[in-house]
Structure 1
Amino acid sequence: MGVGVWSMHFVGMMAFHLETAMQYNTLLTVVSMLASIVASLIAFRVTTIIDAGIRQIASASLFMGSGILAMHYIGMQAIRAPIQISYDYFYFGLSILIAYAASFIALYLFRQQRTITDLNVGLKILYAAVMALAISGTHYMGMQAASFRVDKIHTNQMLNEMVQSESFLLVGVAIVTFVMLAVSSGAIFFDRNVLERMAYTDALTTLPNRHQLAKYFERSFPGKDSGFMLFIDLDRFKTINDTLGHDAGDLFIKEVALRLKAAISGDQTVFRLGGDEFLIASSKGRLQEAAQLADEIIAVIKKPYSVLGNEIYMTSSIGISLAPDHGMTRTALLKAADMAMYRAKEAGKNQYQFFDEETDRLLVRKLELERDLRKALINEELVIYYQPKWDAESNCVSGMEALMRWHHPQLGTIMPIEFIPIAEETGLIVAMTRWMIREVCKQNAEWQLHNLVHVCVSVNMSVRVFESGELTEMVVEALKAFAIKPGDLELEITESIAMYDLKDTIQQLRKLKELGVRVSMDDFGTGYSSLGSLDELPIDALKIDQNFIRQSGLPSKQAIISTIITIANLLNLEVIAEGVETEEQIGFLKSRGCRVMQGYYYGKPMDAKAVEAWLLHAANSVKEEVTVEVASA
């Protein structure tokens, strides 16, 4: 830019003729060029700042205008005697005004050009013309302001040197112009062929990347009549990085990319979105073609890989969106395919799923719940319900299980089966569990204070709480805060929690057992724990899953229930049956030696006030039964 401004000035000066030859001071001529270059550098550096505003552009135009003016008037000062120059102050001031005003407008338009991605050629020419106006306007207004006087004595001598002076200047301008064009051409070539390729191509696989996907949709994907998108995610890719290292993972990704490129045809294009995610887009084709390609991709990816001497097997989950059924824009189709891919993973992986409205509705609801769940604890929307455990032998309440509910201000009551998985995914379950343990201890302390009931209350645990390493600390803090005996609190774990990290689980549970806190295993018989490690777990009770109880009329289920009770007795563990709803179930369980039961037959989950009313009713019912028995005797 600076060299271009300088060249324009001296080409203009070469076109300007006086009655005598003009010679230039070499040093001042070079200084004028440097002034132009430095000013241009500063001006464009300022305007390339991402968040540059009017103030930054104004300061940049100050440098740019000053550079143009300095270049012009230093260049004029470089003219050697016998030519003497004087200036008209009006035109001199007008040249300064033109330089600054036109520089500001040009740089402002330049800044706008950088923020508009699809700028047309006409506007670019307009921006260039405004900058040219700033340069040439300053030059010719400066020339208008200048008055030249020639010393006649030296005229003849200067005429002899005229050819030499103009030739020198012409060669200098030509060389500078050539260098400027060469540098500009090189920069354009580098930008178009190197930088653009780097920006729109994935470095590892050389596939088009997410940025190229946006350009693809602008140019090659009308999406009005047909077209589809396949969102491909590799199942368990993280395992390769964790076990074989990232170098092996990179080699594996490159091999997958080669297979995907070999599988496509026609107008189909494969992109790498990042990590283990790929995408195939086609501007032609409907449901049948998309399903056929998805089947081929699944089969291709399932073939074994050989990476650094290791044989690897991989599967993929694919989500498919169709145009125009699921949208016509990149954003809409990508979102739909992404949702369908997650549905394929939830359905068992190694398959493809098409997007449908029900999937969209469920995922939107999930996102809404995730957003609102972050505020639920602060807004006191979470409440605790309690379900009693009943001792069928002594005919009295023997404990309570605390169950969390969410009273959403717009959606109503939301059950744990829906929001607990979201809390576990987001990590919110740790804070929620801390709050729940405190509230349970607080409520139990109040019941004991008023002599309503003195039983152990159990709280369900999540594997995320064990991973946090904060379980022991939060239990100790709650027990101390409300002066509750450790034996009045029970933590319920599942088989999956126990087996997730058996060694760490045992260590944390032993610390809790040393405090005196009870531990029970919930839903026993439905998980994947090994009976060989059951005796290693420091637990106090087994809870028989309600699915077994509901089908306790079947001989096979009766055999399983009897086996669980026998194992518990041999390990000196208490047995609790969940989901008890009928007298027949109670009779069967009592005959097998199970005395503690929990279910709707005895009481449904209730809030604290309802529990208090239930306790009074249960106490009166027991008294009436005792009175009847005494009267009968």
Structure 2
Amino acid sequence: MSYDSKSLLTTRSELSIFLLQETYNHWVVILSLIIAVFASYSALNLASKISGSQGSTQKWWLIAGSCVMGCGVWAMHFVGMLAFHLNVHIHYDLSVTLLSMLCSIVASFIAFQILLSKRIDWRKFGVSGFIMGSGIVAMHYTGMAAMRLPATVAYDRGYWLLSAAIALAASYVALFLFIKFRDNVSVSWWKWASALLMGIAICGMHFTGMGAADFWCGDASALIATDNGEVNLVLLSGVTLATFFMLMVSWGAMFFDRHVLEKMAYSDPLTGLPNRHDLNRFLKDGVDGSRETAVIFIDLDRFKTSNDTLGHDIGDMLVQEVGRRLSGLTGEGRKVFRLGGDEFLIAAERCSQDQAEQLAGDILEAITKPFDLKGNELYITASVGISLAPKHGTDRESLLKASDTAMYNAKKAGKNRFCVFDDEMDQMLLRRLELEKDMRGALERKEFYIVYQPKWNALTEKAVGFESLMRWPHPKFGDVSPSEFIPIAEETGLIIPMTRWVFSEVGKLLQQWMEKGVPLLPVSINVSVRLFESRQLIEMTRTLLESANLSPHVIELEITESMMLYDVKDMIRQLSELRSLGVRISMDDFGSGYSSLGTLDQIPIDTIKIDQLFIRESDSPAKRAIVGAIIEMALNLQLDLVAEGVETVEQIDFLRSSGCNVMQGYYYGKPMDVSEMDNWIARNMDERLTEDSRL
């Protein structure tokens, strides 16, 4: 099928020159539009590769994208030329034809190169669009110049300018879409619609340019039949190769996405195991509720201690070896994942509770075997939590929450064991979730309050300070123990604003004492390791001292011995800076199981607080020996001592005889709110004044 763009064969009678008749094949015209759209889509698809890569990889993607865009525009042009027929024989100069292709590729490369920056510079955008548009115009008219035929070409200036304007407009549209889609790796109808718009614009430029050309022939003998269907094989071969190149680059990009990038995205680079993303995909639609499935959560015990002690290289080797041992326990229907850090998970299909418990026992046995890593013989344990589908749910969130809760219960029970999720844990989990939800607004609702417990010097019979303690009377659950809500606050990060509030309340209390003329006694504030990690503790302490106009010695910060399991050097640095402000530092719960003896002489602290566990069992000879050793060590290091949990006269006598005079416990006073504490202070101050007057 064909149509005439100039329906009449006209002559310039005075020159006897014939204006040749132009015809186009409809189907080939449509094919040229399809090639233009496909080239545009391929270039948009490669935009994300260009933007998302770096270094030499980015250059290769840039070259590929420029070649696809340039070759696509060139192929569309010459397919359009294949659809174009005159009454004369036409062939093409190969070197000029290749030059036209080069114009399009180079212009695309320069334009894409300019727009690689993440920030859009509209001046660069203007230059890039002009370069690319000029390249398309140069490609088109260079391709026209490659035509060899017994006729001369004359261009209508108006149509020529219109074709150039369309080329520039198409280029700006192409580059705008390139910027829009350079960070989008997904296939979307919007991208196809954009490619169609670009294809129509490029085809519009081509056929407008063809409409600008008049072909004048002065030799009537050169005329041939217009419907002979002659095809230029060289041109057809070039177009075929260019189209094939676009297909290869596009398919190569798809293969890279589906195989190379997918493997990188869904596997752990350290162990090669499937990662958390693959687990999410694995459990995306949940599990089949018609058969039992076990989700087994594995967390290495005290991995951070080993990692910090032996170095991260050994830590990485340990994780790799654990991954290999766990992989050895998998089989048909079992898959092991590394979730990150020291956390692993095994999903086992068609697995009953008995089989899951047997597998958990095998996991513990495999991990407790010694690891030989670069001459270091290392022993570690693990805590394992098990959830079962459909018993504990069939969706991903329920199963992961349940196995995670069971794992934490295994840790609380003493580590190196497994625990199966049950109804009691379910209630605990629901309670925990509700506490976490309610805690987020508890500060605004003023549900928290502070109580203060006195510290007493049994030798001078005088109060020497107070410890501030948070309390939470929950509207539904009643009084919630700090041992329950503080860990939740630490995990969620809410401990930071909560501690900031405690600092403010302590500052207000000390200001009230100053206004009443009450002698200021030091008040200690418990601080979490999260405060050190956030780097906000020093600023909070400085703000407290300045806003309340306090002397630094009336503020004491209490840390726990377990904090030394974290970055010791950074902890020492921050503690040293806090002490330089003049505040005192005490170590709470000393001797509770996290030995810091190796670094105790390096940690900048003023006071050791003996854990109440030893005081309550001080009638035991073993506990007496431990307490005596702690007291002797503190005295040798010139550290102050406070004994916690003192409740009986016998405990007081033992501590005094051992050299510890400052005590804290129910014997001397329970934690009191502000009004009760005011009465306690007044009563004890009166007793002290009476005793002093007698002296």
Using the size of structure 1 for normalisation, the TM-score is 0.68
Q: Give the match for residue 75 of structure 2.
A: 7
Structure 2 residue identity aligned to 1:342: Y
1:585-604 aligned within 5 A: 585-586=648-649, 600=666, 603-604=669-670
1:269–1:282 CA contact under 8 A, matched in 2 = yes
Match of 1:251 among 298, 311, 317: 317
Q: 1:213 to 1:182 in 2, by over 3 A?
A: same
2:451–2:468 CA contact under 8 A, matched in 1 = yes
SS class of match (1:75)? helix
1:85–1:148 CA contact under 8 A, matched in 2 = yes
Instruction: State the alpha-carbon separation in 2 of the partners of residues 473 and 335 from structure 1.
Output: 35
Shift of 1:20: 0.7
Q: Give the match for residue 459 of structure 1.
A: 524
Q: Give the match for residue 419 of structure 2.
A: 353
Q: 1:224 to 1:31 in 2, by over 3 A?
A: farther
Instruction: State the alpha-carbon separation in 2 of the partners of residues 13 and 562 from structure 1.
Output: 97
Match of 1:312 among 378, 381, 389: 378
Q: 1:62 to 1:501 in 2, by over 3 A?
A: closer
Q: Give the match for residue 630 of structure 1.
A: none
Residue 143 of structure 2 corresponds to residue 75 of structure 1: yes
SS class of match (2:74)? helix
Q: Give the match for residue 470 of structure 2.
A: 405
Instruction: State the alpha-carbon separation in 2 of the partners of residues 213 and 44 from structure 1.
Output: 38
Shift of 1:265: 1.2
SS class of match (1:263)? coil
Instruction: State the alpha-carbon separation in 2 of the partners of residues 129 and 237 from structure 1.
Output: 52
Q: Give the match for residue 37 of structure 1.
A: 105
Identity %: 41
SS class of match (2:85)? coil
Structure 2 residue identity aligned to 1:262: G
Shift of 1:415: 5.0
Match of 1:267 among 333, 341, 346: 333
Match of 2:86 among 11, 18, 21: 18
1:424–1:462 CA contact under 8 A, matched in 2 = no
Q: Which runs of 5+ in 1 are unaligned?
A: 626-633
2:367–2:380 CA contact under 8 A, matched in 1 = yes
Structure 2 residue identity aligned to 1:459: S
Q: 1:600 to 1:40 in 2, by over 3 A?
A: same
1:219-234 aligned within 5 A: 225-234=291-300
Q: Give the match for residue 337 of structure 1.
A: 403
Q: 1:169 to 1:391 in 2, by over 3 A?
A: closer
2:386–2:418 CA contact under 8 A, matched in 1 = yes
Once the two structures are superposed, residues 517-543 of structure 1 have per-residue CA deviations (whole angstroms, 9 ceiling, x without a partner) of 999887688668799999999999997
Once the two structures are superposed, residues 34-67 of structure 1 have per-residue CA deviations (whole angstroms, 9 ceiling, x without a partner) of 4543566688889999999xxx999999998887
2:456–2:464 CA contact under 8 A, matched in 1 = yes
Once the two structures are superposed, residues 110-166 of structure 1 have per-residue CA deviations (whole angstroms, 9 ceiling, x without a partner) of 9789858586xxx6996598369627853785488366434132854999xx99993
Q: Give the match for residue 45 of structure 2.
A: none
Match of 2:387 among 284, 297, 321: 321
Q: Give the match for residue 293 of structure 1.
A: 359
Instruction: State the alpha-carbon separation in 2 of the partners of residues 267 and 562 from structure 1.
Output: 52
1:230–1:280 CA contact under 8 A, matched in 2 = yes
Please say which of residues 196-205 and 176-185 is displaced more in the overlay: 176-185
Structure 2 residue identity aligned to 1:256: V
SS class of match (2:147)? coil
2:617–2:623 CA contact under 8 A, matched in 1 = no
Instruction: State the alpha-carbon separation in 2 of the partners of residues 476 and 217 from structure 1.
Output: 48
SS class of match (1:252)? helix
Instruction: State the alpha-carbon separation in 1 of the partners of residues 240 and 597 from structure 2.
Output: 90
Q: 1:335 to 1:62 in 2, by over 3 A?
A: farther
Shift of 1:325: 4.5
Shift of 1:264: 0.8
Q: 1:368 to 1:21 in 2, by over 3 A?
A: same
1:201–1:212 CA contact under 8 A, matched in 2 = yes
Please say which of residues 274-283 and 220-229 is displaced more in the overlay: 220-229
1:162-311 aligned within 5 A: 166-217=232-283, 225-311=291-377
Shift of 1:169: 2.9
Instruction: State the alpha-carbon separation in 1 of the partners of residues 133 and 263 from structure 2.
Output: 36
2:170–2:202 CA contact under 8 A, matched in 1 = no
Shift of 1:342: 3.4
Q: 1:236 to 1:109 in 2, by over 3 A?
A: same
Once the two structures are superposed, residues 346-366 of structure 1 have per-residue CA deviations (whole angstroms, 9 ceiling, x without a partner) of 333222334442353354356
Q: Give the match for residue 50 of structure 2.
A: none
Cα RMSD of the aligned pairs, angstroms, is: 6.5
1:223–1:283 CA contact under 8 A, matched in 2 = no
Instruction: State the alpha-carbon separation in 2 of the partners of residues 94 and 7 from structure 1.
Output: 18
Q: Give the match for residue 6 of structure 2.
A: none
Shift of 1:19: 1.5
Instruction: State the alpha-carbon separation in 2 of the partners of residues 417 and 390 from structure 1.
Output: 24
Instruction: State the alpha-carbon separation in 2 of the partners of residues 521 and 211 from structure 1.
Output: 41
Once the two structures are superposed, residues 196-251 of structure 1 have per-residue CA deviations (whole angstroms, 9 ceiling, x without a partner) of 33333333333233333344345895567543322323233334443444444333
Structure 2 residue identity aligned to 1:606: M
Instruction: State the alpha-carbon separation in 1 of the partners of residues 357 and 203 from structure 2.
Output: 65
Instruction: State the alpha-carbon separation in 2 of the partners of residues 125 and 510 from structure 1.
Output: 58
Instruction: State the alpha-carbon separation in 2 of the partners of residues 44 and 208 from structure 1.
Output: 36
Shift of 1:509: 11
Instruction: State the alpha-carbon separation in 1 of the partners of residues 551 and 511 from structure 2.
Output: 6
Q: Give the match for residue 36 of structure 2.
A: none
Q: Give the match for residue 676 of structure 2.
A: 610
Aligned residue pairs, count: 608
Q: 1:157 to 1:327 in 2, by over 3 A?
A: same
Q: 1:154 to 1:79 in 2, by over 3 A?
A: farther
Q: 1:244 to 1:43 in 2, by over 3 A?
A: same
SS class of match (2:452)? strand
Instruction: State the alpha-carbon separation in 1 of the partners of residues 626 and 420 from structure 2.
Output: 45
Instruction: State the alpha-carbon separation in 2 of the partners of residues 506 and 50 from structure 1.
Output: 41
1:437–1:459 CA contact under 8 A, matched in 2 = no
SS class of match (1:149)? strand
Instruction: State the alpha-carbon separation in 1 of the partners of residues 285 and 674 from structure 2.
Output: 63
1:456–1:490 CA contact under 8 A, matched in 2 = no
Once the two structures are superposed, residues 10-53 of structure 1 have per-residue CA deviations (whole angstroms, 9 ceiling, x without a partner) of 2332343321122445565345424543566688889999999x
Please say which of residues 210-219 and 409-418 is displaced more in the overlay: 409-418
Q: Give the match for residue 629 of structure 1.
A: none
Q: 1:592 to 1:140 in 2, by over 3 A?
A: closer
Instruction: State the alpha-carbon separation in 1 of the partners of residues 507 and 132 from structure 2.
Output: 72
Using the size of structure 2 for normalisation, the TM-score is 0.63
1:443-482 aligned within 5 A: 443=509, 447=513, 450=516, 454=519, 456-457=521-522, 459=524, 464=529, 478=545
